[in-house]
A and B are shown apart, each in its own frame.
Chain A
Amino acid sequence: MLKDITLGQYFPGTTLVHRLDPRTKILMVIVYIVALFLAKSYVSYALMLAFLVTAVAISRIKPRALLKGLKPLLIIIIFTAVLNLFYSGGEPLVSFWVFTITKEGVINAFFLVLRIMMLVMGTFLLTYTTSPIALTDGLESLLKPLKKIRFPVHELSMMMSIALRFIPTLIEETDKIVAAQKARGADFESGNLFRRAKALVPILVPLFVSAFRRADELADAMECRCYHGGQGRTKMKQLHYARGDFAVLLVGALLLAGVIVLCHFGL
């Protein structure tokens, strides 16, 4: 059921991609996204695709798991594709009634869909191969300079790690509540939109009640262990860049440079 939503799920492993410093991976994703938006041509897309495929292959994440992550976005993807298909000017291919499909439209739609898919798969590769704790640690470390302007970096990352930590718990909880209400004959699958929305009440109320209960308990537990914010707090696992990280970052820089150069030559 809900468990099958793979958003933000971590698949443990020991591959090179898994072992990279989380900061490296975050930086790589940023580089990758920027490059993806700069890429304009078949050649640059091919380059990006090659990078993504290599990364996925090294990580040993099953492509099927990555594709499954796309499922919730299917509507958005189809919507953008259709929009681009019909509303790009240029040389008409086919036309019926008020719609015209142009060659540019087809190309635009194709690249847009490809871009969204690559974007999502690239970021998912990050969350699939990095534990939530490592991810927030990396983010906290990368954002550290912002502390100078009194930005609450530690608090933010603590909030993030708590939120991430509780996503699976809440999903599990939701599954249980759904099952319990179904056992009392609740019907979530039939009826019009209004009825379906109303059918959510028996799920949402217990879910919120338990979320607040959990929040209270967690706050108590943290206070009992003398948590008082980021001041003077040390880390059990210090982050260290290793040789592999520098190599990967170099690849990232080359990728970005390559795409920029290609873009410059109009390729």
Chain B
Amino acid sequence: MSVSIEVKNLSHTYSVGTPFEHEAIHALNFTVQPGEFLGIIGHTGSGKSTLIQHLNGLLKPTQGDVLLGGQSIWRDKKATREARFRVGLVFQYPEYQLFEETVYKDIAFGPKNMGLDADEVRARVHRAAGFVGVPEALLEVSPFDLSGGQKRRVAIAGVIAMEPEIVIFDEPTAGLDPAGCADILENICAYRRANNATIIMVSHSMDDVAKLADRLLVLRDGAIALSGAPGEVFAQAKCLREIGLEVPQVTQLLLELQSLGVPVDTAAYTTQQALAQLLSLKEGAANA
């Protein structure tokens, strides 16, 4: 079972003491419950990547703290290192971190660093490869001979092979074709179901987060602009557009219909919800 992760009054300033000093995030407060799927959205440069690098102790807060299961990840060196394994972080374009001679060795890098024995490492590599759909035959080839999409899967496997309780993904589907995107998202959900893991996903695709997330966090200039269930957040279409974000396509459609005078509820954000509404409308029209 997973643990909760709590962000307290978190601020981060880059390049302190130089002319390039810049506060990327300011006084953030939120908690992610065990097993939750949190989506983080925000405009380019709003501080999403900066925020998530604090959650596993890669960046040290200039102010504030991050608590994992109620305890600060900065209380001592050991705790910080442990946080790296308990909170997995898949970076944007993770395929650029591949370095080993074979796919197997690359996926095994994380588990080996955890100090696990060879059998456990082997088991975890195979499990992780299974989650992301990397066939056994590929384990012995060089990661540099793979296609972009395959590299991405291998890199993701490299993180989930550590079997973290919380996994953070920074735009995991950037630059993939639609089928590839859907696959990766499905892999993420499979891992979540199997391990009861907490998932935090940064995304630019409103449709993806609408479909998957239990809760959304909207960042604007390093602060939380909106937060809540997808329905609540997407109901604030005006505010989102002000920030430079969009609502999911189905919500857009419903908003358009509403502006044309069709009586629809614009809180729907998945295709299913919208479909249900449109069907009932149609029935209503047929009965009339």
Contacts and interface: CB of A to CB of B under 8 A. Distances in A.
Interface of A: 3-4, 6, 11, 62, 64-65, 173, 176-177, 179-187, 201-202, 205-206, 209-210
Interface stretch (B86-94, B117-125, B171-179, B224-232): B86-94
Interface string B2-33: 00000000000011011100000000000000
Interface of B: 14-15, 17-19, 53, 56, 58, 81, 84-85, 88-89, 91, 94, 96-99, 109-110, 113-114, 144, 158-159, 162
Given A65-B19, A179-B91, A183-B89, 19 more contacts: A11-B19, A64-B17, A65-B18, A173-B96, A180-B94, A180-B97, A184-B109, A184-B113, A184-B158, A184-B159, A185-B81, A185-B84, A185-B110, A185-B114, A185-B162, A186-B109, A201-B99, A202-B97, A202-B109
A119 B214 CA distance: 60
A185 B162 CA distance: 9
The DSSP consensus for interface residues of chain A is: helix
A176 B110 contact: no
Contact of B162 (A11, A184, A205): A184
A65 B19 CA distance: 9
A64 B109 CA distance: 40
B96 A210 contact: yes
Contacts of B96: 173, 176-177, 180, 206, 209-210
Contacts, number: 65
A3 B113 contact: no
A182 B159 contact: no
A4 B98 CA distance: 25
B58 A209 contact: no
Contacts of B159: 183-184
A202 B105 CA distance: 12
Contacts of B113: 184-187
Given A184-B162, A185-B110, A177 B97 contact: yes
A11 B19 CA distance: 8
A166 to B, nearest CB: 16
A183 B158 CA distance: 10
B97 A206 contact: yes
Contacts of B53: 179
A201 B91 CA distance: 19
A3 B85 contact: no
Nearest to A201: B99
Nearest to B97: A180
B31 to A, nearest CB: 22
Given A181-B97, A183-B84, A176 B109 contact: no
Nearest to B89: A183
B84 A202 contact: no
Contacts of A6: 18
A6 B81 CA distance: 29
Contacts of A64: 17
A206 B99 contact: yes
A11 B98 CA distance: 34
22 contacts: A3-B15, A4-B15, A6-B18, A173-B96, A176-B91, A177-B96, A177-B97, A179-B53, A180-B91, A183-B84, A183-B88, A183-B91, A184-B113, A184-B158, A185-B85, A185-B110, A185-B113, A202-B97, A202-B109, A205-B99, A206-B98, A206-B99
Contacts of A183: 56, 58, 84, 88-89, 91, 159
